[in-house]
């Protein structure tokens, strides 16, 4: 009980439930009463945890296809703009009343790159004139070819821009106290490698985007634009300051425009929750009026205003923007060449869940209880008040039972609740999707699918269709297993949605009792890894979007949390086996018979590549790839479909790698090491 009481400080629903349990336990000492109340309590806790999960984040514009009747969340509705500030405030208040949502703060045609499409920087004439011998330059490993993502390292082939962390020095007589060097974004002369040197440091740090001669730094609540035409004297051109209740959800760089998505926590305690001040650009505020904010026609839980905008990297000006309200939980941002997709999760309320369960089991619960629950659902009162009312209804029902009836219901309840959970798992938790067309910069489609996606790689647009991989039921597992025999089986699905985000095809029930650990879509193929004890690697045929198929399956120990295409027929998996980092080469030439043709176990417990695809680098010319570990940086060859460790740089905190021509740069917090890719000998080093 102590754990749940601590959670109550941040959620009023739990406070009501705990009081409910305490009162109920004093009055009813029968086992079935406690079982039912505890299960209801656990359901409430779980739904609150789900709605309060992290980042990247959830909008709420779903097509609500719940099986539950008597709920305002069941219609398929479009979205529209608010017509007045009063309508905005009323919508927020109704959201809190009907859904129990409380404002506690809110703050992750697309073809995947293959071996023939490794990102090599296209050099403009100005860069070529400065570096006549520059032939090829690597770029950040991103999901969608041509759409850059923020990272701590960028290069133009001449300079490297590295946003470093604090470095602790053992040497004495440094200029800074306590042996700590401050954060800096370092500008490093990188080519030719013989001239490797530190040119300049910029005080601001964070993730970076580089658009020609403009370096953009995302630094907490601020965004900076620097002109780095002269790297020896970078010039700050503009500065954007976000409001304290605004955070960056994600950003992209595409065709010389930055696409930025922000989240603004809605403070309903304010007398005027909008106009919403998002940010200030060089002392000029950007405010969103109530009449410019979209909302679902149906009433849904909301706590956040999402704003998508285009930012001119040269001037720092916001050129277009669009805003809509939703829930901040677990939003994922995915961008294709055609649109920005924002996902969000939502779930049924405790009252709707219990009411639907009672209706489906009317043979053991009296009609009178169901009739009263139907009336209770329609009451225009808060969720907390409904829970208290339900308390009294159930107390009255339970007091009418004799000992024989109680024993029967005790057994029936556990079994039926378990069956109910598994029967309705796809209605209990869903992911809504909002599509913003890049050309119109307007919301052009909304939709939903059961379950929740893992990360941005679980989404992919191909030939105007969106493919999305989701896990069903995983979030509920365990919470119903505290001695009551109530467990929900997890499953994994693939859904294909058309340009209007309507489901046109699906593959269901992959990896039962498991959850998705990685996904990758490449043209008309999909690759999926689920895991519980073994690693099922699935090959999906998506050539017919209306009839997608699971073509092949391979079960091996461990799992892969990142999948990268080496070629059309070879997929690299990076994951773990027996608590060590594992690399796998999968041969998918025959989709119905995938094979693990080679694997390598690193003497590393963890690599950032398990969680962050930006750290991975593939060099097709030399058939090698790089990934960092906790002990150093590793370079592997995959020539002839064999994994071979060709070079290790030890005793450094390796962060990233890049190549310029045939020189390989390993970037660590404390230094940069340059290797010759022809023989992997060290040719230079820069210690910061």
- For residue range 59-85, list pLDDT tens digits in order: 323 333 333 333 333 344 478 999 999
Please indicate, yes or no, if residue 400 is contained in any of the structural domains: no
Predicted confidence (pLDDT) per residue in 160-207, tens digit: 999 986 544 444 444 444 445 567 899 999 999 999 999 999 999 999
The boundaries of the domain holding residue 480 are 453-605
561: pLDDT strictly greater than 90: yes
User: Looking at the predicted structure, is the pLDDT value of residue 470 above 70?
Assistant: yes
Is 497 in contact with 503 (CB distance < 8 Å)? yes
For residues 39 and 417, the answer to whether their CB atoms sit within 8 Å is yes
Confidence of residue 648 (pLDDT cuts 50, 70, 90): very high
Percent of the chain with pLDDT over 70: 78
Q: Count the domains in the chain.
A: 1
Element (H, E) at 357: helix 350-360
Look at residue 445 in the predicted model and tell me its pLDDT. 94
Q: Would you give the DSSP letter of residue 670? A: S
Question: Which among 592, 499, 506 has a CA at the least distance from the CA of 545?
Answer: 506
pLDDT given at position 126: 43
Q: Please indicate, yes or no, if residue 518 is contained in any of the structural domains.
A: yes
Bin 242: left if φ > 0, else alpha if -120 < ψ < 50, else beta: beta
Contact 572, 527 (CB under 8 A): no
Cβ atoms 584, 599 nearer than 8 A: yes
Tell which wins on pLDDT, 270 or 50: 270
Asked whether the predicted pLDDT for residue 35 surpasses 80, the reply is no
> For residue range 230-256, what is the model confidence (pLDDT) as tens digits?
999 999 999 999 999 999 999 999 999
- CA–CA separation, 587 and 595 (whole Å): 5
Radius of gyration of the CA atoms of the chain, in A: 27
Q: Is the pLDDT of residue 349 over 80?
A: no
pLDDT at 77: 46
Would you say residue 531 lies in a domain?
yes
| Interval 85-95: pLDDT, tens | 999 988 888 77
Q: Are 257 and 310 in contact (CB under 8 A)?
A: yes
Pick the residue with more confidence: 265 or 328? Answer: 265
| Predicted local confidence at residue 13, as pLDDT | 43
For the ranges 206-220, 285-299, 485-499, the maximum mean pLDDT occurs at: 206-220
pLDDT score recorded for residue 169: 43
* Highest mean pLDDT (candidates 16-25, 119-128, 569-578): 569-578
pLDDT on residue 263: 93
Residues 479-538 have pLDDT tens digits of: 333 334 455 678 999 999 999 999 999 999 999 989 999 999 999 999 999 998 777 999
| pLDDT value, residue 34 | 56
Question: Is the pLDDT score of 653 beyond 60?
Answer: yes
Does the residue 37 lie in any domain?
no
Give the mean model confidence (pLDDT) for residues 669-673: 95
Q: Is residue 546 domain-resident? A: yes
Does residue 373 belong to any structural domain of this protein? Answer: no
Distance spanning both ends of the chain, measured CA to CA: 51
Quote the distance between the C-alpha of residue 108 and its chain's center.
Answer: 3
Cβ–Cβ < 8 Å for 345, 268: no
The pLDDT > 90 percentage for the chain reads 58
Between helix 31-51 and helix 383-399 the angle, nearest 10°, is 160
CATH number of the domain bearing residue 528:
2.130.10.10
How confident is the model over 393-418, as pLDDT tens digits? 888 888 888 989 888 887 888 788 88
Q: Is residue 590 part of a domain?
A: yes
| pLDDT category of residue 42 using cuts at 50, 70 and 90 | low
Of 199-208, 359-368, 452-461, 594-603, the range with the lowest mean pLDDT is 359-368
Phi, psi (degrees; rounded to nearest 5) at 5:
-65, -40
Q: Which of 192-206, 279-293, 463-477, 546-560 has the lowest mean pLDDT?
A: 463-477
Residue 5: pLDDT over 50: no
* Each residue's pLDDT tens digit, 114-126: 444 455 665 554 4
Measuring CA to CA, which residue among 328, 574, 344, 323 is closest to residue 459? 344
User: Is 323 contained in some domain?
Assistant: no
């Amino acid at each position: 009980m102590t754990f749940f009481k601590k959670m109550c400080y941040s959620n009023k629903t739990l406070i009501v439930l705990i009081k409910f349990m305490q009162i109920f336990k004093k009055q009813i000492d029968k086992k079935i009463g406690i079982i039912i109340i505890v299960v209801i309590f656990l359901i409430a806790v779980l739904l609150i945890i789900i709605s309060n999960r992290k980042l990247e984040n959830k909008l709420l514009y779903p097509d609500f296809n719940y099986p539950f009747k008597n709920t305002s969340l069941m219609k398929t509705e479009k979205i529209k703009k608010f017509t007045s500030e009063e309508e905005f405030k009323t919508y927020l208040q109704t959201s809190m009343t009907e859904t129990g949502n409380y404002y506690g703060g809110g703050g992750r045609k697309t073809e995947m790159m293959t071996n023939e499409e490794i990102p090599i920087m296209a050099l403009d004439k100005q860069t070529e004139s400065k570096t006549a011998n520059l032939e090829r330059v690597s770029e950040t490993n991103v999901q969608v070819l041509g759409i850059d993502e923020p990272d701590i390292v960028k290069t133009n082939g001449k300079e490297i821009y590295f946003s470093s962390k604090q470095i602790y020095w053992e040497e004495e007589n440094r200029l800074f106290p306590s042996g700590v060097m401050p954060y800096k974004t370092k500008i490093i002369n990188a080519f030719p490698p013989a001239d490797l040197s530190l040119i300049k440091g910029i005080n601001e740090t964070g993730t970076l985007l580089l658009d020609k001669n403009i370096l953009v730094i995302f630094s907490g609540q601020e965004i900076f634009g620097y002109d780095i035409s002269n790297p020896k004297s970078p010039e700050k051109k503009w500065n954007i300051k976000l409001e304290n209740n605004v955070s960056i959800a994600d950003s992209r760089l595409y065709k010389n425009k930055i696409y930025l998505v922000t989240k603004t926590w809605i403070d309903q305690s304010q007398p005027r929750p909008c106009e919403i001040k998002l940010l200030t650009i060089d002392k000029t505020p950007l405010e969103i009026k109530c009449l410019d904010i979209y909302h679902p026609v149906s009433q849904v839980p909301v706590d956040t205003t999402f704003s998508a905008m285009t930012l001119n990297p040269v001037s720092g000006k916001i050129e277009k923007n669009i805003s809509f309200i939703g829930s901040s939980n677990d939003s994922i941002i995915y961008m294709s060449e055609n649109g920005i997709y924002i996902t969000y999760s939502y779930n049924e309320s405790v009252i709707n869940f219990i009411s639907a369960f009672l209706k489906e089991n009317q043979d053991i619960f009296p009609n009178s209880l169901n009739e009263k629950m139907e009336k209770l659902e329609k009451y225009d009162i808060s969720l907390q008040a409904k829970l208290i009312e339900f308390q009294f209804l159930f107390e009255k029902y339970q007091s009418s039972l004799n000992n024989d009836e109680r024993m029967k219901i005790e057994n029936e309840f556990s079994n039926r609740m378990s069956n109910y959970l598994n029967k309705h798992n796809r209605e209990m938790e869903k992911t809504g999707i909002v599509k913003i067309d890049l050309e119109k910069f307007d919301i052009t489609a909304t939709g939903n699918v059961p379950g929740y996606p893992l990360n941005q790689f679980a989404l992919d647009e191909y030939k105007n269709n969106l493919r999305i991989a989701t896990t069903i039921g995983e979030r509920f597992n365990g919470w119903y297993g505290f001695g009551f025999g109530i467990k929900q089986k997890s499953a994994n699905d693939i859904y294909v949605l058309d340009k209007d985000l309507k489901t046109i095809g699906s593959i269901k029930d992959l990896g039962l009792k498991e959850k998705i650990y990685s996904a990758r879509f490449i043209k008309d193929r999909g690759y999926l890894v689920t895991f519980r004890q073994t690693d099922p690697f699935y090959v999906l045929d998506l050539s017919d979007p209306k009839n997608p198929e699971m073509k092949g399956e391979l079960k091996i120990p461990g799992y892969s949390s990142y999948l990268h295409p080496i070629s059309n027929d070879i997929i690299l998996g990076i994951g773990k086996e027996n608590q060590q980092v594992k690399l796998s080469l999968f041969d998918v030439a025959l989709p119905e018979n995938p094979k693990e043709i080679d694997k390598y176990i690193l003497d590393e417990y963890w690599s950032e590549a398990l969680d962050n695809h930006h750290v991975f680098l593939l060099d097709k010319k030399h058939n090698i790839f790089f990934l960092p570990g906790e002990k150093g940086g590793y370079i592997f060859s995959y020539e002839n479909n064999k994994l071979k460790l060709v070079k290790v740089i030890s005793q450094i905190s390796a962060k990233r790698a890049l190549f310029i021509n045939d020189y390989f740069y390993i970037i660590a917090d404390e230094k940069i090491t340059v290797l010759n890719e022809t023989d992997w000998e060290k040719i230079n080093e820069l210690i910061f």
